Structure 1
Amino acid sequence: MKIVIAGAGFGGLRLARMLNNKPGFELTLVDRFNYHQFQPLFYQVATAGLDASNISFPLRKVFQKSRNVRIRLANIERVDAANRQLVTDSGNFYYDILVLAMGAGTNFFGNANLERHAFSMKSTVEALQIRHRLMENFEKAVHEKDPDQLQQYMNIVVVGGGPTGVEVSGAIAEMKRYVLPKDYPELDFSRMNIYLLEGSDKVLGTMSGKSSEQAGQYLKELGVTLLTGKQVSDYNGSVLECKDGTAIPTATVIWAAGIKGHVPGGLDGLSLQRGNRIPVDPFNEVKGFPGIYAIGDLACMATDTNPNGHPQVAPVAIQQAGNLAQNLLKHGLDKVLWKPFEYYDKGAMATVGRNKAVVDIPKPKWHFGGFLAWLVWMALHLMLILGVKNRLFVFLNWLYNYLTYDQSLRLIFKEFHKPEQKE
């Protein structure tokens, strides 16, 4: 059975590993990067808490001993369902089963200016770009004489009060408190403002009211200016404007306000759901396209408890990949015997800063925060990181940062042009 997996995120990688070296399966794993990215820690790369290599793991190393998994680097263009091919810029891949696991990207809701000037954080490369922008702005601020321009460099705006927005805001606030005044003694960091804008009336809207309230309190303790009920209308690279007339001068806007699925071309007639998600049946098969499956953030499986699809989080992708793999291993293509997918919600968590985190557990219904929640958050993320060496490096980085309140990763790598050779 030829299986092509499009995307090596949590879902795609899980599926490939479960079918690795299983007789009767020939797998091709297609991705535009040659490494798996641990998305929950992008914000720590962006704020110089971790090196990019700590949260990235080479795909070919995962499958060094594999007899049936092949890695191909390519940009996915479209699906040719009639001829059962995945069309990419590196050639076509024939399949018996195609699994779409490309995840989701940033949703700027059609605002071209925001897309042009704001920073998204959906890849390791984008996280590094944010880090470089932060460091470069402080270097410029040291030389700046114009007070208005200086304030733009010193203002940082994060849009979106979900886990990503909360975590990156808290991390920047801790940089302001513990690191930046030592790095830049020439600057007055009492003038530095960190704004977190959220369109609804609270942060962490998908979590419990207690978690939302506690996270908001933690952010205020760290010095983050939390502005709820704010919907962004425009950003020209120097001033962020809200629909209610609020204007914030800033040279750095981090956009964490929405995501949309990476849907390939070729799926004509498909009725995409909210967030550009693909409708699937209880077995994750794309409706109207036999032999094509979608898992993770890209899939929208409507259920009684989740009428708009499951949460777009890593556990859903991992569990859907596991269910699909088990069905294929046990019953092949005989879908009569397949087990429908049921999501087991183990809970949700978010960290705000040192000793500050919130955790919700659904069964039994329990909320807790503070130091214990922070330890649970760290332990879970260490377990999920791919590779023993990566886990060790991340743990050592966290330990060093906890003891010293610092991290030596504030590096700016600029493009180097070789001088032209004279003839």
Structure 2
Amino acid sequence: MDENYEVIVVGGGFAGVAAARHLGRKGVRVLLIDKNPYHQFQPLLYQVATVQLGVSEVARSLRDIFRGQPNVRVVVEEVTDVDPHAKRVTTADGKTYEGRFLVLASGAEANFFNTPGAEELTFPLYSVEDAVNLGGSLSMMLEDADREDDGRPLNFVVIGGGPTGVETAGALAETVKYVLPDYFSPRLANRCTVHLVDMIPNVLNAFGDKSKEYAGRRLTRMGVQLHLGTPVSEIASGKVLLKDGTEIPADVVVWAGGLKAGPVVTGSGLPGGRGGRIDVNPDLTAPGVEGVYVLGDAANMTDAKGNKLPQLGSCALQAGKWAAKNILADIEGRGREPFDYNDKGYMAMVGRGSAVAEMGPGPKRLLLTGPLAFLGWLGVHVVLLSGTMQKIRAMATWPSDYITHRRSFVVLSRPDGKRR
């Protein structure tokens, strides 16, 4: 048995980092475990994949985050087993760690919904590694196409019409329209088509009707071909098959079709709900076991009235802070309080200078579209980025990218080509 800790936090995402930081400031002895040595800003991974931002803008060292908090220890290792009742975790190197409280904030992974070929032939976009792999494949495909110059059409297919899918399709369309003609040639750009597929008959299903309509119109104007209202039946080599018989040619397929809980949560023995996530109590504790909190994409969270809460970074961030407050209440013998989520609304970028933003708590949100929403999107994401240097780099990169459209497709990752 390795050292004992007051609180063990599994996962270095929004929720896990927020919980550990808040507890660390209060002098609580915390162990944070993550398989990666960095905290990633998932909402901007699509910009890494399309070379709008670099990895250093969206990833920050966990040790840098907790510099100056000696009571928070960071261990970089994969968690292979969790015993919620004993508040014990085991890592891939065989070590075990035990605490008085356990926080599971291990995030999620792509949910392929058992779609044939999806796991083998598509690129998910939920980690820095995913973004780098996708960027590398896109770069290699474009270089090959430019060298061969055979006039063959090139098709990029994005599956999933939520914010990740819409933002990725918009970024790809923007790259085709503004970047490729200068970086490669207009001839190569004219061969490229971006497709967006979703079983729902509209994009941004969680948004209001006006936002859905605006995003759909904007994507269409940018040249994105929308295939909505029909599920994907199979991903095959060089094509995406829909259940209505439609075949979409595909050179690169991006999977933004949904998330599910990862093996840390599904193998914990805790009762799983929708997406394999844990249906937590209103105070963010796991049902049926004392001292265990489940947060972020690992949990199905509700507010005090039982309303389902969104799988958003801002929600996970607030949940991490709230769980820390409840753990402190547990330590001090006070009562826990139900999570009071501050609903700030939804945002999605739809290409250069364009976005949709529904600000404030529903149902009477302030709706913004176009350039104003775009500026709001930039401001919110700068605030949410972790670390001063990440904010400075993003603010320095965005104006150059959106004004000049100059990007350098220097990608070090060389995928094996199986997904192409």
Shorter-chain TM-score bucket reads over 0.9
Q: What letter corresponds to residue 107 of structure 1 in structure 2?
A: N
Tell me if the contact between 1:142 and 1:186 (Cα under 8 Å) persists in the aligned partners: no
User: Cα distance, 1:105 vs. partner?
Assistant: 1.0
Distance 1:186 1:342, change over 3 A: closer
Matching residue's letter, 2:341: Y
Where in structure 2 are the equivalents of 1:321-332 lying within 5 Å? 321-332=320-331
Return the alpha-carbon distance in structure 1 between the equivalents of residues 329 and 134 of structure 2. Answer: 45
| Structure 2 residue aligned with 1:377 | 377
Q: Could you tell me which residue of structure 2 aligns to residue 275 of structure 1?
A: 275
d(CA) in 2 for partners of 1:322 and 1:142?
A: 50
Q: CA RMSD in A?
A: 2.0
Find the partner of 2:96 among 88, 92, 111: 92
SS in 2 for 1:136: helix
Partner-residue secondary structure (3-state), 1:332: helix
Written as runs of structure 1 = structure 2, the 5 A alignment for 1:7-46 is: 7-23=11-27, 25-46=28-49
**Residue deviations 1:292-321, cap 9 Å, x none?**
1101111123458655x3211112111111
Instruction: Measure the CA separation in 2 of the matches of 1:239 and 1:39.
Output: 28
Q: What TM-score, normalized by structure 2, do the two folds share? A: 0.92
The Cα of 1:284 is off from its aligned counterpart by: 1.0
**Structure-2 residue corresponding to 1:215:** 215
**Residues 345, 365 of structure 2: 8 Å contact kept:** no
- Count how many residue pairs are aligned between Structure 1 and Structure 2: 407
Describe the superposition over 1:333-383 as per-residue Cα deviations: whole angstroms up to 9, x where unpaired.
636x21111222111010111111001124453211111100000001001
Name the counterpart of 1:50: 53
Match of 1:261 in 2: 261
Q: Is the 8 A contact 2:278 2:286 kept in 1?
A: yes
How far off is 1:415 after superposition? Answer: 6.2
Which of 79, 82, 93 is the matching residue for 1:76?
Answer: 79
Q: How does 1:1-400 map to 2 (within 5 A)?
A: 2-23=6-27, 25-90=28-93, 91-144=95-148, 150-151=152-153, 154-185=154-185, 187-264=187-264, 266-268=267-269, 270-302=270-302, 309-332=308-331, 334=333, 337-363=335-361, 364-400=364-400
Q: Amino acid of the residue matched to residue 326 of structure 1? A: K
Distance 1:378 1:145 in 2: 37
The C-alpha deviation readout for 1:19-45, integer Å capped at 9, x for no partner, is 12423x210000011010001100100
- CA 1:192–1:345: 2 relative to 1, 3 Å: same
Structure 1 residues 241 and 333: CA distance shift in structure 2, 3 A: farther
Distance in 1, Cα, partners of 2:394 & 2:360: 29
Structure 1 residue runs without a partner (length 5+): 417-423
CA contact (8 A) 1:76 1:88 kept: yes
Contact 1:263–1:276, Cα closer than 8 Å, also in 2: no
- State the distance in 2 between where 1:273 and 1:81 align: 17
Partner-residue secondary structure (3-state), 2:347:
strand
Shift of 1:233: 1.0
In the alignment, the residues of structure 2 paired with residue 192 and residue 68 of structure 1 have an alpha-carbon distance, to the nearest angstrom, of 53
Q: Secondary structure at the match of 1:98?
A: strand
Question: Which stretch shows the higher mean deviation, 52-61 or 319-328?
Answer: 319-328
For residues 254 and 414 of structure 2, the distance between their equivalents in structure 1, rounded to whole angstroms, comes to: 23
Distance 1:333 1:72, change over 3 A: same
Name the residue aligned to 2:418.
none
State the distance in 2 between where 1:64 and 1:236 align. 47
1:26 to 1:273, Cα distance in 2 relative to 1, 3 A: same
Q: TM-score, normalised by structure 1?
A: 0.91
Q: Secondary structure at the match of 2:57?
A: helix
Identity %: 35
Query: In 1, Cα distance between the equivalents of 2:188 and 2:88?
Result: 59
